[in-house]
Amino acid sequence: MLIEIDFNSPQALYIQLRNQIVMGIAQDRLRDGDSLPSVRSLASTLGVNMHTVNKAYSMLRSEGYLILDRRKGAIIQVEVENKDHEIEKIHHNMRMVVAQAICKGISKEDMHAVIEEMYDFFE
C-alpha cells in the first residue's frame, strides 16, 4: 500500500490518510479482507504521530470502510447498510461542490463531463 502524505498541504494529515485509503478501495488496490498496517507501523513509515493514524482509522471505521479487531488490526470491510442513506450523504456533500462550480461559472455539461471522467478513472 503506497500512501504519500503532503506535509505542506493545508489539509489535515489524518484526512489525507483517510482519503488515500478510500481512493485505494475505489481503485481496487485495497479489497475487502485486506489488512492495513498497524497504527504504530504506519505512523512510523509515514513519519506521523500515532494519533494521526488512529484518528484516520477511527474515521474510516465510523464511515463503514473498515473494522478494527484487537487481534487482527484494521481490516478493509466496506459496509453499505442503507443505499438511500448513502445517496443522501453524497447529495449533501455534492451540494457544496455544485455551488462552487456555479459560482465559478462551470456549466452543468462541464460537471457531467467531470463526473464521467472520474467514474472512468475508477473503472
| SS3 track for the chain | CCCCCCCCCCCCHHHHHHHHHHHHHHCCCCCCCCECCCHHHHHHHHCCCHHHHHHHHHHHHHCCCEEEECCCEEEECCCCCCHHHHHHHHHHHHHHHHHHHHHCCCCHHHHHHHHHHHHHHHC
pLDDT of amino acid 69: 87
70 pLDDT band (50/70/90 cuts)? confident
Per residue in 3-41, pLDDT (tens digit) is 999 999 999 999 999 999 999 999 999 999 999 999 999
107 pLDDT band (50/70/90 cuts)? very high
